[in-house]
């Protein structure tokens, strides 16, 4: 059992209780990004148009889920720390730019993948009558790179936001547990960013002639596996490491620990 002081520290204080102008602007940007994802601009006029429109609903749901998870992470950050300084605003602006830039590529990627998996279609008829592949084989590495680097960009921004909050832990008067969770959030977000960068970088490496042979493919696979394995291990041990920290804090009777 934890001491009363430690149990009190387990309750993370929400320092941002009111919606700030930064959050209000962010919500507007996220709303605009969701608008860009709408399945159809106009109401279908025929049953055929309706069925064609509904084919994109799966990609809409997946991309909307990704956008919502990003919005929720941002919401939690501002509630936990309530920061509104220049560095926070710049990093938040960078996050919004990434969201707006990658919303269309994300929807296209998931729409193309769902078409291939669900219907088996690999081509589409254009308005001029030409039938072209939805994804050209030579373009696939670039699409994976867009997805990987887009994921990396989002989580790099989040890692920098938590790093900034940790640097201001004295100003924010973070408890020992809050400081630990802030540092842990920084490292976790950074490793997710590295995983995304590994996917994007490996996709581009596959385009080089040196990596097109079997040896090159093994090198690329090894890079991806090392980063992903580290991320999985980090996630698997995250709860145990936190429990170990809390046990140490409890054994000291709730005495303040230096958040290193």
Q: What pLDDT shows up at residue 7? A: 41
Q: What is the pLDDT of residues 30-86, one digit of tens each?
A: 888 888 777 655 666 777 666 666 777 777 888 889 899 999 999 999 989 989 899
- The fraction of the chain above a pLDDT of 90, given in percent, is 22
Question: If you average pLDDT over residues 87-115, what whole number do you get?
Answer: 87
What is the overall mean pLDDT for the chain? 78
- Pair of tokens at residue 147: 């997805």
CB contact at 8 A, 68 and 30: no
More confident residue, 4 or 148: 148
8 Å CB contact between 118 and 59 = no
Contact indicator for 249, 1 with CB cutoff of 8 Å: no
Confidence (pLDDT) at 233: 75
Closest CA to 157 of 125, 119, 185, 126: 185
Q: How many CA atoms lie within 13 A of 172 on its CB side?
A: 26
Q: Where do the domains of the chain lie?
A: 4-251
- pLDDT at 190 exceeding the cut of 70: yes
**Rounded-to-integer distance, Cα 253 and Cα 2, Å:** 8
Structure tokens belonging to residue 223: 């890079």
Q: Given this model, what pLDDT does residue 4 score? A: 46
Beta bridge partners of 131: 125
Over 90: is that where the pLDDT of 186 sits? yes
List pLDDT tens digits, range 160-184.
999 999 999 999 999 888 998 999 9
Spatial CA neighbour of 91 closest among 149, 164, 25? 164
Counting every residue written for the chain, the total comes to 260
d(CA 25, CA 20): 9
- Whether the per-residue pLDDT at 154 is higher than 90: the answer is yes
> Model-level pTM?
0.78
- Give the CA angle between residues 157, 230, 228 to the nearest 5°: 75
Looking at per-residue pLDDT, the higher value among 53 and 214 belongs to 53
Instruction: Look at the block and give the residue holding tokens 């696979």.
Output: 221
Query: Would you say 181 and 246 are in contact if contact means Cβ atoms under 8 Å apart?
Result: no
Q: What secondary structure letter does DSSP report for 46?
A: S
Token duo for residue 176:
């020992």
Q: Give 9's pLDDT tier (boundaries 50, 70, 90).
A: very low
**Distant-in-sequence, close-in-space partners of 124: CB < 8 Å, separation ≥ 6:** 131, 132, 133, 134
**Tens digits of residue pLDDT in 113-136:** 777 766 666 666 666 667 666 677
């Amino acid at each position: 059992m934890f001491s009363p002081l430690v149990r009190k520290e387990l309750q993370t204080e929400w320092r941002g209780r009111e919606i700030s102008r930064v959050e209000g602007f962010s919500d507007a940007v996220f709303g605009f990004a969701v608008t860009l994802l709408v399945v159809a601009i106009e109401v279908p006029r025929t049953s055929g148009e309706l069925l064609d429109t509904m084919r994109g609903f799966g990609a809409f749901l997946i991309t909307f889920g990704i956008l919502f998870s990003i919005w929720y992470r941002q919401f939690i950050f501002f509630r936990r720390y309530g920061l509104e300084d220049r560095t926070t605003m710049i990093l938040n602006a960078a996050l919004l730019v990434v969201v707006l830039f990658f919303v269309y590529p994300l929807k296209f990627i998931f729409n193309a993948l769902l078409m291939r998996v669900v219907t088996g279609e690999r081509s589409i008829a254009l308005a001029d009558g030409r039938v072209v592949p939805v994804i050209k084989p030579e373009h696939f590495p670039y699409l994976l790179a867009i997805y990987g680097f887009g994921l990396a960009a989002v989580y790099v921004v989040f890692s920098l936001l938590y790093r900034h909050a940790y640097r201001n832990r004295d100003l924010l008067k973070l408890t020992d547990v809050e400081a630990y969770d802030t540092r842990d959030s920084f490292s976790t977000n950074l490793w997710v960013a590295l995983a995304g960068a590994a996917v994007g970088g490996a996709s581009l490496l596959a385009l080089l002639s040196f990596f097109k042979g079997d040896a090159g493919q093994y090198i690329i696979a090894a890079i991806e596996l090392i980063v992903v394995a580290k991320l999985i291990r980090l996630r698997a041990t995250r709860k145990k490491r936190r429990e170990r920290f809390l046990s140490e804090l409890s054994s000291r009777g709730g005495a303040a620990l230096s958040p290193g």
